[in-house]
Structure 1
């Protein structure tokens, strides 16, 4: 096996152009030379605390550039960062800490309350706090202070020679059902994924991305890896605020943006409703992924932001990016093609390949697929075949030209009296209605059919629910029409900005229990 440490992507960019900007965040510009030195210092800091190659270190952070130097500093010494979803409850975070076997908790001062609970529940022996300008002297967590320790560390570091198959990163899936699962991502797999992304996006050193999604999430983290690999730069914002994102694009002449549908919906709504104007002429394209994007939204992005939108698909254990469209190879509604070096299958319930145009489960195989789930050999055996195919649990179909279309989760399929109904197909028809801004379809019990669709919708103005049903039946199969329609001002979102289907399921159950037709 070749030896290659994934953190070398930063050091390679340092050697090519040390004075070029790498990160613009928190009121400062950090060059590659400075980023390389700080990353080395972070590695030396944790090595000095006794961190050994293979040790896991949990990282609980806000959108702060130090999250990146800490993660890559840990990789540099052969340790394994465990990026934690800061939107999760403290009990779940404590579970992740224990399950991963982390030996240190590194956290941002703004996460102090959750860090305290993690320390109590997971018996954390050692913790490191990253502060802002100052921090309370009575913080009470007995933590070492990163900002005080870092300046004393040597800015030179002998990068640990990891092998391609060594563990590089241990992110945990969201755990919508049951506990989150750790995904074993390797150094070689991450290098393949970021090399392929930089290639199909044609990233150059003068490209610049704006990032507002959480850095712990695969969408933002993958983009940052591609930035470091290509020697380009990123503007990192603390949160996805539409006006700030658009002003940042104008001020810093960003050349592309990556996000989830909910983020773009906010941007388009702001551009429609705000009297402010923004110069977005520097933008070349947008990447939209992580969840389904209606064609109507893609058209709105193109119209209001003046750019092409390329869609993609990925999952934490899948690379993470598996599919992406690109210039000259894009059809609205399609997630595109497998990345160079990756393969897919679409299979039936009997796990046999299906013909083009037929919906089946998407299987993927590429060098970036996780080499298993942490401490879950039975789940690994069930989800990943002996010859390396990951069963994604997502339903998809492929057209005659090879474009792949994602239709939803296998578990979300609604069986209406023997007819298979996929929520995305119902949502796409509802979104054609001029008064519906967003839609999410879920199953409800039915005495004769077993289960039928119900729809939550976000509308531009009050709607007639019977008229919406008629609208659907005129355009889609009658058996798939939503029997109940619930109008909301906005959908609940997860930390990465996806529609929180778990919360909507809870709301739906509450309404069904009450026997009401409209949620409160």
Structure 2
């Protein structure tokens, strides 16, 4: 689905035609209809035009979850500008790099981000700075709230070609500097509309958004398909289990999206505080990492919902695989490729052989939503995206005989242990079968004899009697001995990053400090 303008900022086009007075979004006591939201997007576009923002200009947005994030993001698209969502959890060094690399001349920030914005302003050359509301600490910043309220509610939408730049989203930069993924208007129309149909959204659905909107999980699994479908959404500023349960109960939300760590916390809260009625939930989407079988069983038993696992990456669509709401559900699988999306599993030995079902290799993806390249990185763009449009994801996967994808891990996470290949996710899956292990994360460390070996960080259930030795023995009984964890570290809680996933970098740093960066010896 698209509009005559081809501009993805008009994603509310159908809802405005069919149900302009229907509730579009609810957040922190504010409720907007589609008509009101559409007008606010237009006003945001008008404001930035008044300050010289034109087609192709990048505008950085430093916001937690907030209704204004939506109107700014899609308002910018409507004038042909390019929103640059910033991960508010990143350090100032990474954010400064992104602002400089992108060439952004405008920064819009939430009032809670004032201190971070001040440091970024000192380190970058910005033409304009907009503070969402309070500008007392920023006398040189424009007040977004005050100015936007006086803008006209109508706007001439700037027509956009299918391959025009729509969004510039920087990846987390786990290796090297963050990389800007260039997503197009046509690609975003296709991905959002296709995902909307696959998860079978209709106007009666009401999504709960508690994951960060600057991340693809929230945008592609909720925000974009909801606004295209004319459904409704409830936005929370952050994930807090009590607030999530209360919002589902109060607003009768029909689905939500998140990551396994969040659902574990929600279940723990529901057990202790069972007073909220969560029966309105029809399904939940879980992306970013595999859902342990025990968690799936408990979610189904406790909440009575279908669990749709999904996989995507910023430059890959973003959505690539998703479990269908109908037909066969396979535990541990991220689902089937979206319609009109091609996938293949390719050998990692340099021959680029397409592998048969059941074999592990690198996932290659081809669909209309694949990024047109990486900002200012033409060589990397050529390396990662072939001339005929295949993206080399760097993720290891296997496809079964029915085409369902199982994510094994990152290509650069693979450990060669004494000549044998091992993958952190496979080790984690074996350990998670232990009834006393609630959560686990495996990282690789250097080893004098074996090359690399796994270290397991384990969170146990309450009153567990597990020891490091008993965990190792359990693994050896249930998995290949060569890949058993050489060290087991018990944690009360797993460190999480800004998107709710386990922060592996923090775990690697933790083990490096403990070892003093020495090699591990022994078997």
How far did 1:385 drift?
Answer: 0.7
Q: State the Cα distance separating 1:269 from its structure 2 match.
A: 1.7
- Superposed, 1:401-420 pairs within 5 Å as 401-420=402-421
Match of 2:334 in 1: 335
| Segment of structure 1 superposing worse, 59-68 or 452-461 | 452-461
Q: Structure 2 stretches of 5 or more lacking a match? A: none
Q: Is the 8 A contact 1:84 1:216 kept in 2?
A: yes
Q: Secondary structure at the match of 2:121?
A: helix
Task: Report if the CA contact (8 A) 1:118-1:124 is conserved.
Answer: no
> CA 1:516–1:164 in structure 2 vs 1: closer, same or farther (change >3 Å)?
closer
2:129 is the alignment partner of 1:142:
no
- Could you tell me which runs of 5 or more consecutive residues in structure 1 were left unpaired when the two chains were aligned: none
Correspondence list, 1:67-216, <5 A: 67-131=69-133, 135=134, 137=136, 139-140=137-138, 142-216=140-214
Q: Secondary structure at the match of 1:195?
A: helix
Q: Distance in 2 between matches of 1:203 and 1:275?
A: 30
Residue pairs, 1:209-224, within 5 angstroms: 209-222=207-220, 223-224=222-223
Moved more, 289-298 or 380-389: 289-298
Alpha-carbon distance between aligned partners in 2 of 1:211 and 1:322, rounded to the nearest angstrom:
20
Instruction: State the 1:445 CA deviation.
Output: 2.3
The question of 1:263 aligning with 2:266 is answered no
> How many Å apart are 1:300 and its aligned residue?
1.9
Q: Match of 1:53?
A: 55
- Give the 3-state SS of the residue equivalent to 1:183 in structure 2: strand
Q: CA RMSD in A?
A: 1.5
- Give the corresponding residue for 2:22: 20
* CA-CA distance at 1:63 after TM superposition: 1.0
- Of 3-12 and 100-109, more deviation after overlay is shown by 3-12
| Corresponding residue number in structure 2 for 1:63 | 65
Aligned residue in 2 for 1:466: 469
Provide the secondary structure at the position in 2 that maps to 1:184: strand
> Does residue 493 of the first structure (1) align with residue 496 of the second (2)?
yes
Shift in CA distance, 8/123, structure 1 to aligned 2, threshold 3 Å: same
What secondary structure does 1:317 align onto? helix
Partner of 2:152: helix, strand, or coil?
A: coil
Distance 1:6 1:507 in 2: 43
Verify: 1:234 aligned to 2:233, yes or no. yes
Provide the rounded CA distance (Å) in 2 between the counterparts of 1:497 and 1:259: 8
- Say yes or no: does 1:510 pair with 2:480: no
How far apart are residue 141 of structure 1 and its match? 5.2
Preserved contact between residue 329 and residue 336 of structure 1 (Cα < 8 Å): no
Larger deviation, residues 294-303 vs 222-231: 294-303
Distance, in Å, in 2 between the alignment partners of 1:140 and 1:76 is 28
Residue 345 of structure 1 is matched in structure 2 by 344
Indicate the residue corresponding to 1:475 in structure 2: 478
1:362–1:392 contact (8 Å) kept in structure 2: yes
State the 1:298 CA deviation: 1.7
Q: What is the CA–CA distance in structure 1 between the aligned matches of 2:484 and 2:126, rounded to whole Å?
A: 51
1:516 Cα deviation after fit:
12
Change (3 A) 1:364 1:516: closer
> Alpha-carbon deviation of 1:462?
4.4
SS of 1:23's equivalent in the other structure is: strand
Say which SS state the counterpart of residue 463 (structure 1) adopts.
Answer: coil
Any idea what the Cα deviations from partners look like across 1:219-259, whole Å, max 9, x if unmatched? 11122011110000100001111111111111111111111
Question: Residue 326 of structure 1: SS of its match in structure 2?
Answer: coil
| 1-structure distance, mates of 2:190, 2:454 | 41
Q: Give the TM-score, by structure 2 length.
A: 0.96
What CA deviation, in whole Å up to 9, does each residue of 1:195-230 have, x standing for no partner? 111101111111001011111010111220111100
Separation in 2 of the partners of 1:109 and 1:231? Answer: 30
CA contact (8 A) 2:5 2:158 kept: no
Distance 1:494 1:307 in 2: 27
Q: Secondary structure at the match of 1:408?
A: strand
Q: Distance in 1 between matches of 2:490 and 2:519?
A: 13
Shift of 1:177: 1.1
For residues 442-469 of structure 1, the C-alpha deviation after alignment (integer angstroms, 9 at most, x for no partner) is 1122232122111111112342111111
Q: 1:277 Cα shift?
A: 2.5
- Quote how far apart the aligned CAs of 1:514 are: 7.8
Give the secondary-structure state (helix, strand or coil) at the position aligned to 1:74: helix
Q: 1:136: Cα distance to partner?
A: 5.6
- Cα distance in 1 for residues equivalent to 2:13 and 2:157: 10
The equivalences for 1:270-289 within 5 A come to 270-272=269-271, 274-289=272-287
Q: Secondary structure at the match of 1:504?
A: helix
Q: CA shift at 1:123, angstroms?
A: 1.9
In 1, Cα distance between equivalents of 2:139 and 2:511: 40
CA distance in 2, matches of 1:419, 1:516: 19
Shift of 1:292: 2.5
CA distance in structure 1 between the partners assigned to 2:250 and 2:119 by the alignment: 40
Which SS does the other structure have where 1:508 is aligned? helix
CA offset digits 1:91-130 (Å, max 9, x no partner): 2111111111112101111101111111111122211110
SS of the residue corresponding to residue 72 of structure 2 reads: helix
Secondary structure (helix, strand or coil) at the match of 2:180 reads: coil
Cα distance in 1 for residues equivalent to 2:496 and 2:142: 34
Q: Which residue of 1 aligns with 2:455?
A: 454
SS at match of 1:7: helix
Provide the rounded CA distance (Å) in 1 between the counterparts of 2:135 and 2:51: 23
